[in-house]
């Protein structure tokens, strides 16, 4: 597969599509998933092009992991979940639907199921509020 420079995450990184930004540095961007599986579900992407873990440059992958850890800590502080799930999918058979490397950082709660992946868009005001809580915890 050839990297599609017009995939939605590449367009978000370039600022062509708005997002509820949580964190940004020179190499990565973290923003709210618009179809979250739980309140606080955040995505972390490297700014460099790469479809998956196999095609992303190692230095970009390392930067994304560093940001994922930072964002996970902020989500834990902001939402106080007893657990945090980090997911990174590679290929359609694994459930990847956007072919730009990304990490899902999802708060997990005992006895509370996750919502269905990419099923229902969240209220934009709720996403903005969640992003603000996470930014405040960074």
CA dihedral 9, 28, 64, 127 (to 10 degrees): -60
Q: What gap in Å lies between CA 68 and CA 104, rounded to an integer? A: 8
What is this structure's pTM? Answer: 0.96
DSSP annotation of 94 reads G
Q: pLDDT for 108-123, tens place per residue?
A: 999 888 887 777 899 9
Q: pLDDT for 8-20, tens place per residue?
A: 999 999 999 999 9
Cβ neighbours for 27, distance < 8 A, ≥ 6 positions apart:
46, 47, 48, 59, 60, 63, 64, 67
Q: In which band, very low, low, confident or very high, does the pLDDT at 55 lie, cut at 50, 70 and 90? A: very high
Q: What are the catalytic residues?
A: 102
CATH class of 8-137: alpha beta
């Amino acid at each position: 597969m050839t990297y599609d420079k017009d995939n939605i995450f590449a367009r978000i990184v370039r600022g062509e599509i708005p997002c509820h930004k949580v964190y940004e540095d020179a190499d990565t961007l973290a923003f709210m998933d618009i179809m979250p599986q739980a309140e606080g579900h955040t995505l972390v992407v490297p700014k460099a092009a790469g479809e998956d873990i196999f095609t992303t440059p190692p230095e970009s992958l390392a930067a994304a992991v560093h940001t994922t850890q930072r964002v996970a800590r902020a989500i834990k502080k902001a939402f106080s979940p007893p657990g945090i799930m980090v997911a990174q999918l590679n290929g359609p058979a694994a459930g990847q639907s956007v072919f730009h490397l990304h990490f899902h950082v999802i708060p997990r709660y005992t006895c509370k199921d996750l919502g269905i992946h990419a099923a229902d868009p969240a209220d934009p005001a709720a996403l903005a509020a969640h992003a603000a809580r996470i930014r405040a915890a960074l």
